[in-house]
């Protein structure tokens, strides 16, 4: 689907940086060392360090850190509601609510 305007200039890398900064901030606010968060989450301390410094972690690792920091409900609410920017997009979302499969837009 082609949108006329996209004002969101954040890249995936920008989002990874933001998430890693947030995890580090929440860890420090709780007074936790990387080792302590590792014990709570099951994520190895070197992996936590790599995430905080290089912004790279598996999805499962990120979820384990967020859960250990108390963000289970926030994680569950991600992507629960459709997001749209035009009425046409909302119409498409409503039309496709019960779809079980996507379609290949390149074969049109």
Are 65 and 48 in contact by the 8 Å Cβ rule? The answer is: yes
pLDDT at 43 over 70: yes
Q: What are the sequence ranges of the domains in the chain? A: 12-97
State in words which class domain 12-97 has: mainly alpha
In the structure encoding, which two tokens stand for residue 36, read together?
């302590």
pLDDT at 6 over 60: no
pLDDT at 3 over 90: no
Are 59 and 105 in contact by the 8 Å Cβ rule? The answer is: no
- pTM for this model (two decimals): 0.77
Per-residue pLDDT tens for 58-96? 999 999 999 999 999 999 999 888 887 888 888 888 888
pLDDT at 35 over 80: yes
The structure tokens 């360090």 sit at 49
Min mean pLDDT across 9-13, 33-37, 40-44 is at 9-13
Are 51 and 20 in contact by the 8 Å Cβ rule? The answer is: yes
Residue 32, classed as helix, strand or coil, is coil
């Amino acid at each position: 689907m082609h949108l006329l305007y996209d004002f969101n200039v954040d890249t995936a890398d920008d989002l990874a940086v933001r998430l890693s900064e947030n995890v580090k901030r929440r860890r420090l606010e709780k007074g936790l060392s990387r080792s302590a968060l590792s014990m709570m989450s099951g994520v190895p301390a070197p992996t936590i360090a790599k995430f905080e410094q290089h912004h790279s972690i598996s999805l499962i690792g990120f979820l384990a850190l967020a859960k250990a920091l108390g963000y289970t409900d926030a994680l569950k609410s991600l992507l629960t509601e459709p997001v749209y920017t035009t009425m046409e997009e909302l119409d498409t979302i409503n039309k496709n609510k019960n779809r079980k499969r996507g379609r290949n837009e390149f074969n049109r």
